[in-house]
Structure 1
Amino acid sequence: MQKKKIVIGSRESALAVVQSRLVITWLKEHHPEVEAQLLTMKTTGDKILDRRLDQIGGKGLFVKELDRALLDHKTDFSVHSTKDLPMEIPEELPLVAFSSREDPRDVLVLPKGQERPDLTKPIGTSSLRRIIQLKRLFPEAEFQSVRGNLQTRIRKLDEGQYGAIVLAAAGMKRMGLAGRISGYFDTADVIPSAGQAVLAVQGRRDGDASMFLDFTDQDAADEVTAERSFVTYLNGGCSSPIAAHAQVSGGEIHLDGLYFDENTREAFRGNLSGGREKAEQLGVKLAQMLQRHEGEYLGTEDREENI
């Protein structure tokens, strides 16, 4: 029997390739009639490393070239880290599947041989979302941008440029670097980005995505729905300091959210629970609550760090 050939688009970073190959391996195991080829490409977001993402258009720049490849029929699907996706998805390029969730936590990575952060040096992170929350845990710390792929960031850390860096556990584990993790931040202390640790498969509206019908993890899909609903209502892009993390338990879903008021520079956090069938409405409800400043007040970010 002749195999159905498809092309999967991916960013060319090592982590993106590893994640895309996870999807290809799943296809080989569950749909041997499908032959998947990987096509990698460098995105605009990968090329511009000397400025913050919010200064160059947000993380939508990580998907621009992948979207164009789909629209031009050079690829059939794209694999993304869900946290890197913009909130507005083109109707002609729907998200057709979500993976099960890896570890959603943020982690602390120290230089080799160190047991605690050297706070005479900055903590490396380019995420204002992280900084707002980490300031409560490290009030004496300074924060500084660290861009580049995973290996580049760790190299800069080991070279002595930073006293510590903060990364996503999922990426570290998928890259086989769990041994470099020095500590985990509970999601109650540092709320992750919406969609963190979940992979998304994107296709074309006129395409055949039937091979992914049994790929989606429904728990992860419902969690992502609540998280992205929260961020979308607050009009938060991928570079906006807004965070959301949902957890499904049986028929219930619990959602934690972080809201940063751009006008007052105040940050608030809160949480709600409800039926998982109303995940989208739950995200909107929590967003409205925090917009009214009804959550826990985290303080004012009255100046931008060197990020």
Structure 2
Amino acid sequence: MKNDSTPLPPSGVRGSKIIRIGTRDSELALWQAHTVEKKLNDLGYKTKIIAVKSQGDILLDKPLYELGITGIFTKTLDIAMINGEIDIAVHSMKDVPTALPKGIVQAAVLERANSLDILVHKGNLDFLNGSGIIATGSLRRQAQWLNKYPNHNVVDLRGNVNTRMQKLNDSDWSGAVFAAAGLERINLKPENYINLDWMIPAPAQGAMVVVAMENDNFALDALTQLNDIETEIVTYIERQFLRTLEGGCTAPIGALVQYDEEEDTLHFQGALFSLDGKVKMEIDKIVPIEEWKKLGFNMAQEILGNGGAELMKTIKESLKK
């Protein structure tokens, strides 16, 4: 899967307008925005970064699922874009709701980085064979950890990656789970970590997405040149799986699709867990690339038909309490 070569607009056109890049104000979010800025600058576009603080960064005293807001990390930027204060917004793709607000479209998906989750620990892994306290703000990570380590306790951990790392250092926790890509991007990945290759990542984990207004042809033309078609396709499948399963509800869902260029096949791994991790519904298939358009939907339907619908109903009722 190779990117189509898109001809660049004349340099005079590229230089006639400043593309205002909206981003959250955390170190990682700013790193992502500057990465997009450099790519656009290299193509001859003028840019300006506008940072804002999202509700997800401000409201740190409750677990994410209790806040009951879809797109808590993206909503502020959506509003700024609709109001004409910014032209595009850069996000960690796993934070973006599968249904975008009316008028906003996915304009580019950048080449995926490391999709793994990692455990950052205090240098001693003896707790893995006994009792331990693991921190994470993710229902998906919580459920998968408890599925593998049912004797452990899982505590909530919120904040940007810098804040979460500091909380871990200041705590008596055994460790905390992070997305590898986030720590690697801002050189915060410590020596004391292990790859959790058994943990199915969040759909689109490790990928960055840029959104724009659907009627902004200038920004759309610029961003299409940044799009990585392989990452676009595999994340589309993962998010289609998520959207079909969740129906607008936060749930412990993981998905990963990997493309095999030699075989021209897609390896799909997906799972739905109960909140306590005791129930695991997993699917693992290799299919021809031609099946990609409805692959996520079909895999989700298979899980829903094998008891997943009942489990999703239980999860929704539990989260309402």
Same fold (TM over 0.5): yes
Contact kept, 8 Å, 2:268 with 2:284, in 1: the verdict is yes
Contact kept, 8 Å, 1:104 with 1:192, in 2: the verdict is yes
Please tell me the residue identity of whatever aligns with 2:267.
Answer: H
**Which residue number in structure 1 is paired with residue 311 of structure 2?**
none
**Which residue number in structure 2 is paired with residue 176 of structure 1?**
187
1:239 Cα shift? Answer: 3.4
Contact kept, 8 Å, 1:58 with 1:239, in 2: the verdict is no
Root-mean-square deviation (Å): 2.6
Matched position secondary structure for 2:240:
helix
Please tell me the residue identity of whatever aligns with 2:200.
Answer: I
**Which residue number in structure 2 is paired with residue 68 of structure 1?**
79
Matched position secondary structure for 1:213:
helix
**If the length of structure 1 is used for normalisation, what is the TM-score?**
0.88
Distance 1:20 1:197, change over 3 A: same
Please tell me the residue identity of whatever aligns with 2:118.
Answer: V
**Which residue number in structure 1 is paired with residue 222 of structure 2?**
211
**Which residue number in structure 2 is paired with residue 192 of structure 1?**
201
Cα distance in 2 for partners of 1:123, 1:222 equals 33
Cα distance in 2 for partners of 1:176, 1:280 equals 36
Matched position secondary structure for 2:78:
helix
**Which residue number in structure 2 is paired with residue 279 of structure 1?**
292
Identity percentage of aligned residues: 30
Contact kept, 8 Å, 2:252 with 2:274, in 1: the verdict is no
**Which residue number in structure 2 is paired with residue 269 of structure 1?**
282
Structure 1 window deviating more from structure 2 (94-103 vs 252-261): it is 252-261
**Which residue number in structure 2 is paired with residue 28 of structure 1?**
41
Contact kept, 8 Å, 2:121 with 2:193, in 1: the verdict is yes
User: Is 1:142 equivalent to 2:153 in the alignment?
Assistant: yes
Structure 1 window deviating more from structure 2 (283-292 vs 55-64): it is 55-64
Q: Extract unaligned runs of 5+ from structure 2.
A: 1-11, 309-313
User: Is 1:40 equivalent to 2:33 in the alignment?
Assistant: no
1:236 Cα shift? Answer: 4.8
User: Is 1:255 equivalent to 2:264 in the alignment?
Assistant: no
Contact kept, 8 Å, 1:8 with 1:76, in 2: the verdict is yes
1:88 Cα shift? Answer: 0.9
Alignment: residue pair count: 294
**Which residue number in structure 2 is paired with residue 242 of structure 1?**
253
User: Is 1:110 equivalent to 2:117 in the alignment?
Assistant: no
Contact kept, 8 Å, 2:143 with 2:274, in 1: the verdict is no
Contact kept, 8 Å, 1:28 with 1:35, in 2: the verdict is yes
1:177 Cα shift? Answer: 1.8
Matched position secondary structure for 1:177:
coil
1:17 Cα shift? Answer: 0.6
Cα distance in 1 for partners of 2:307, 2:79 equals 41
**If the length of structure 2 is used for normalisation, what is the TM-score?**
0.84
